[in-house]
Chain A
Amino acid sequence: RKEVEQDPGPFNVPEGATVAFNCTYSNSASQSFFWYRQDCRKEPKLLMSVYSSGNEDGRFTAQLNRASQYISLLIRDSKLSDSATYLCVVNLGTYKYIFGTGTRLKVLA
């Protein structure tokens, strides 16, 4: 079983739609969680950290479920510019970050 698993997609959604991605992790000792965004042929960039209480940044909401060992990302009112691959990242409290393979999102006009 992979340490971090994501549905590769693609998720094709119309502009304005709400879309959600889940990511599961296998190590219950995981301490920090992140969502990174990676555009085609570009480097990953931090989208948001994921906190235990859940957190929101504009149209983006991230949640953590420790009991079921998954994190989620919700994007409301999707824009064309949201089209990208979203990487789930988990950390065990050290300098090692475990990256998922990413979920590809395509927002269609």
Chain B
Amino acid sequence: GAGVSQSPSNKVTEKGKDVELRCDPISGHTALYWYRQSLGQGLEFLIYFQGNSAPDKSGLPSDRFSAERTGGSVSTLTIQRTQQEDSAVYLCASSLDGLAGGAETQYFGPGTRLLVL
């Protein structure tokens, strides 16, 4: 079946512009995660959605970052007024329901490579 998809695969933007990244989770997965991976760094947790519950936004690095998930499926991560330090790979993952106490497999999308000039 289809895995997690993300678009665009690459994005080059100028400092100060807004960008929108999209994630399509695996059908039926109610848990969705956004991570950021910078060169030589581990995956950094950004935000978590589970069903209709309020998202955990504790990992968002600044108020320029926001995310939403419409209809419990597709999610968009928006970065406003991009800065050069926002350059990274943004990875989306989904899992069945995120409620198994950390024992679930996360399935990752291919990521969006963002470069801010």
Contacts and interface: CB of A to CB of B under 8 A. Distances in A.
A6 to B, nearest CB: 9
A93 B101 contact: yes
A37 to B, nearest CB: 11
Contacts of A42: 110
B110 A97 contact: no
The size bracket of the interface on A is 20 to 34
Given A43-B91, A95-B48, A99-B43, A31 B110 contact: no
A96 B43 contact: no
Contacts of A93: 101-102
Name the residue among A31, A43, A87, A91 with the largest chain B CB count within 10 angstroms: A43
Contacts of B54: none
A44 interface: yes
A98 B99 CA distance: 16
B31 interface: yes
B42 A102 contact: yes
Interface in B95-117: 98-99, 101-103, 105-106, 108-111
